[in-house]
Amino acid sequence: MVASRLIGPVRVVGTGLLGTSIGLGLRARGIDVILADASPTNLSIAVDYGAGRAATAGDLPQLIVVCVPPDVTAEIVARELAAHPQAIVTDVASVKLAPLQELRALGADVSRYIGGHPMAGRERGGPLAGRADLFVGRPWVVAAHDAISYQQATAIDDLILDLGAILVEMSPEEHDSAVALISHVPQVVSTIMARRLTDAAGSALNLAGQGLRDVTRVAASDPELWVQILGANAEPVRDILLAYRDDLDRFIDALEAPAAPGARRKVAEELAGGNAGVARLPGKHGQDRRFVSLSVMVDDTPGQLARLLNEVGEVGVNLEDLRLEHSPGAQLGLAEISVLPEAVGRLTEELAARGWRIAG
């Protein structure tokens, strides 16, 4: 069992994906985890899953982590602060300024509260989706404010480090502006694009490739949750969407008369701007490095993908990223392997020598 920084007990309120994952991660380090949930079924599943034990009247938690929907986060945090005057309280809501403002309006003791936001999740929710390693290597924002001291917040830092996450300090305002750009607006854009598919002909949808799937993947997210998130962070999201509307207008104007003088230059400038934005995204381990992709044809039979990955390792090339794409009706797929530029030539030669078909 790995040693922990936290002493415990840790009380987790809400046993969905994040709450259960926190419990599982802490239990793996031997920490006493107390679970509470308004849903007896979710609580029972999380307990059976090994994420902790049910709360009892005599519990004295060191730290409380509130993992409930954004629209009730402040209410539950205030309740936990009042019920456990010896504990530090944090939350995992995806907005940080609104809960803090609401807590202050409620007169809650925010000297024992500091908001947090782990940038981690899965395509499924609920306690059965919980994973002890969900937060490993993922950023976890701590949204500091003037009313809490560094010494009081130490337990929250220990929680983040015990779960293998990377601690990132931001103000609540900085956090909400950042997630508006990197999470909330992409959700809106993905949703709007996916809505174009509702009346599309089946023959068109059968042509869909990885590009469309990438753009619309998060459009499958829970509408109820996103109504809460967007409502709580409306101002920064709206500001970015207004600028996005201007971007769309420039594209539309250029495409209205694509043969007109300067039209193609305008389109090229917009596309180049997208290239520049993508180039700024951090790569593996946070490095701003661009990788080269190699597409390998993989027969749709058991064991083929595992063999490919094993042989990439035998060649001695580090795999930076992997995407899979299937063509409708075809008995093969494309494995898009991302590697460092200096490795792509050698990897291409080695895989071809081992019988793999390289696309393109």
pLDDT tens profile 152-194: 789 999 999 999 999 999 999 999 999 999 999 999 999 999 9
Query: What is the model's pLDDT at position 265?
Result: 93
Q: Which of 35-39, 152-156, 289-293 has the lowest mean pLDDT?
A: 289-293
The helix (H) or strand (E) run that includes residue 73 is helix 70-83
Q: Is the pLDDT of residue 324 over 60?
A: yes
Q: What is the mean pLDDT of residues 308-320?
A: 90
CA–CA distance, 262 with 291 (Å, rounded to integer):
32
Bridge partners, residue 294, by sequence: 337
pLDDT at 330: 59
Q: How many CB atoms lie within 10 A of CB 210?
A: 13
Mean pLDDT, residues 201-222 = 89
How does residue 150 score in pLDDT terms, banded at 50, 70 and 90?
A: low
Provide long-range contacts, Cβ within 8 A and 24+ apart, for 316-321.
Answer: 317/343, 317/346, 317/347, 318/343, 320/283, 320/284, 320/291, 321/284, 321/291
Per-residue CA distances from 318 to 166, 307, 339 (Å): 23, 15, 7
Mean pLDDT (the chain, rounded): 91
Which residues, in sequence order, are CB contacts of 235 under 8 Å at separation 6+? Answer: none
256 — pLDDT class (breaks 50, 70, 90) = very high
Share of the chain above pLDDT 90, in %: 70
Closest listed residue to residue 210, CA positions, set 110, 67, 328, 88:
328
Q: What is the pLDDT of residues 47-71, one digit of tens each?
A: 999 999 999 999 999 999 999 999 9
- pLDDT of 104 over the 90 cut: yes
Entry pTM: 0.81
- Assign 283 a pLDDT band (cuts: 50, 70, 90): low
In whole angstroms, what is the distance from residue 288 CA to residue 281 CA? 7
The answer, yes or no, to whether residue 360 has pLDDT greater than 80, is no
Mean pLDDT to the nearest integer, 212-232? 91
Section 37-46 average pLDDT:
96
Question: Across-strand partners of 13?
Answer: 36, 66
In this prediction, residue 284 carries a pLDDT of 55
Q: For residues 122 and 313, which has the higher predicted lDDT (pLDDT)?
A: 313
Phi, psi of 191 (to 5 degrees): -65, -45
